[in-house]
Structure 1
Amino acid sequence: MNGIDVAGKTVLVTGGAQGIGRAIAERFAAYGARVAIADVNEEAGAALARTLAEAGREALFVRCDVSRLDEVRGLASEVRAKLGAADVLVNNAGIFPRADLMGTDEAFWERIMGINLKGAYLMCQAFVPGMIERGGGSIVNIGSTHARSGDPAAMAYAVSKGAVVTLTRNLAKGLAKHGIRVNCVQPGWVASEGETSRLRATGTDPDKLFAEASSRLPMGRIQTGEDIADGVLFMASGLSSQVTGQVLTVDGGLSLR
């Protein structure tokens, strides 16, 4: 009987130093996985790896800019040498600066696409060979509800996440014959560190805004990183052994409006 069977498996989480990524890394570690954390934030990433190790978990931090091929290849080599070929890849690294069409210049566009889309492609290209050698694996891409609804004020971000859904479905078709499942988890509005910082930078009180928004959501609250982590754990585990090429939306009913 399949279940949450990630104990002893190697799980790599990009953007895993904080926010949603940190919650994902902590959730897998709690279930006994060997966790590799990739992030550009060296201080936060190293601190999380130490915290997990002190709790008796096996954890590794590797600094990596997922938009750079050389760094992705270095990450793959180090993870394989220290933890073994990855069984689970979680492409969570992403940025979400806001700008509309006319406010999006070429450098802005390329930076978002480089991390949010190219990064996921490079990571899959680097880690899929190891999964094929092992006879299977699971890839979970982190998307956004903006992929479906769009957001004129965050145009490039929304487009990048729409492309992540397409990437997910293409890879799912191509890799199923190798026993590799590829799925996407779409968060709604998450009260993450990044979102909180963004709101404060605009002069908005995040606690007040989250409370007001929660009262309008069908399930009655804004999502947390832990909510998303549970969705990722499901998609990566044996509980979803016959699920591939699918999008799981974790938004408390936000998209029902």
Structure 2
Amino acid sequence: MDWNFEGKTVVVTGGSKGIGRAIVKQFVRYGARIVIADVAENGEEDAAQWVQAGRAVRFIQCDVSVPEEAESVIRKAELEFGGVDVLVNNAGIFPRADLLGTDEAFWDKVLGINLKGAYLMSQAAVPGMIQRGGGCMVNIGSLHARMGEETTMAYAVSKGGIITLTRNLARALAKHRIRVNCVNPGWVMSDGELERLKALGMDQEEIDKRGDRMPLGRMQTGKDIAGAVVFMAGDLAGQITGQILTVDGGASLR
């Protein structure tokens, strides 16, 4: 079956909340064995619930910007499940600051998690994929990679780097039958984003109205992004590599 991930092992970084959690849920739905790699400890609770439901889901606490921790995630996944078939580089942070408010520590933290983390996880996963005869990586980008906004400079640069990393790795690894693609989400109404908007004084009605003004009539959800990730990781996308798939409800058409 095109959507069957039975016997496949998927590592999802940042998989304990938001888009990452939705991605985990979709892969579990299609039978994959999952490793949730996240700095947040609540991923342990999610994994335990899946295990109680008879699913092969494990949690490994990890800071993807630390080389030893990124390497450890992949090694543990290989030891427990025999190898990694799919790596989803989703872990990321989205703090806001303009140029003058971005000090070196802020810059290093954003680039370290969002871009360096994807590089470190990919570097750790690729040798095993080569040995197994192939694999797949899906990186999570952002519309901010191609647009300017005063307070998202470091974030936008990190996501621009994700696009470059995707295309570079796709070309370099094609000979090993490793596909590398990127999914670019639009404005996703995750729990964290809803909390942020409400903290800025927006009520639910105003948030809903913003969704109504989108070309397709609503904001994106984590499930929308997860569906694109699962597609890119599956057999239906077997001849797709080095591509950027935008899932934004038509927002970038404006």
TM-score by length of 2: 0.97
Number of aligned pairs?
Answer: 254
Structure 1: runs of 5+ lacking an equivalent = none
CA distance, structure 1, for counterparts of residue 177 and residue 20 of structure 2 = 25
Question: Is 98-107 or 2-11 further displaced after alignment?
Answer: 2-11
Please give the per-residue CA displacement for 1:34-53, whole angstroms capped at 9, x wherever unaligned: 000000111x2011111211
Superposed CA offset, 1:4-57 (max 9, x none): 232210000000001100000010011000000000111x20111112112221
What is the CA–CA distance in structure 2 between the aligned matches of 1:36 and 1:253, rounded to whole Å? 32
Residue in 2 aligned with 1:26? 25
CA contact (8 A) 1:186 1:248 kept: yes
Q: Residues 78 and 84 of structure 2 are in contact (CA less than 8 Å); yes or no, is this contact kept in structure 1?
A: yes
Cα deviation digits, residues 40-82 of structure 1 (max 9, x gap): 111x201111121122211000000000011112212211111
Is the Cα contact below 8 Å between 1:13 and 1:37 reproduced in 2?
A: yes
1:41 lines up with 2:48 in the alignment = no
Aligned pair partner of 1:146 in 128, 144, 152: 144
Distance 1:76 1:201 in 2: 37
SS at match of 1:17: coil
Contact 1:188-1:254 within 8 A present in 2 as well: yes
Distance 1:80 1:132 in 2: 13
**What's 1:256 paired with?**
253
> Do structure 1's residue 225 and structure 2's residue 222 form an aligned pair?
yes
Q: Which residue of the partner structure matches residue 238 of structure 2?
A: 241
In the other structure, the counterpart of 1:184 is 182
Mind listing any 5+ residue stretches in structure 2 that lack a counterpart? none
Match of 1:158 in 2: 156
Find the residue that maps to 1:62 and give its secondary structure: strand
Q: TM-score, normalised by structure 1?
A: 0.96
Q: Please report how far the alpha carbon of residue 85 of structure 1 lies from its aligned counterpart in structure 2 after TM superposition.
A: 1.3
> Equivalent residue of 2:155, what SS?
helix
Q: Quote the residue 1:11 is aligned against.
A: 10
**d(CA) in 1 for partners of 2:82, 2:149:** 40
Quick one: distance in 2 between partners of 1:116 and 1:75? 17
Alpha-carbon shift at residue 140 of structure 1 (Å): 0.1
Shift of the alpha carbon at 1:173? 0.2
Tell me if the contact between 2:211 and 2:218 (Cα under 8 Å) persists in the aligned partners. Answer: yes
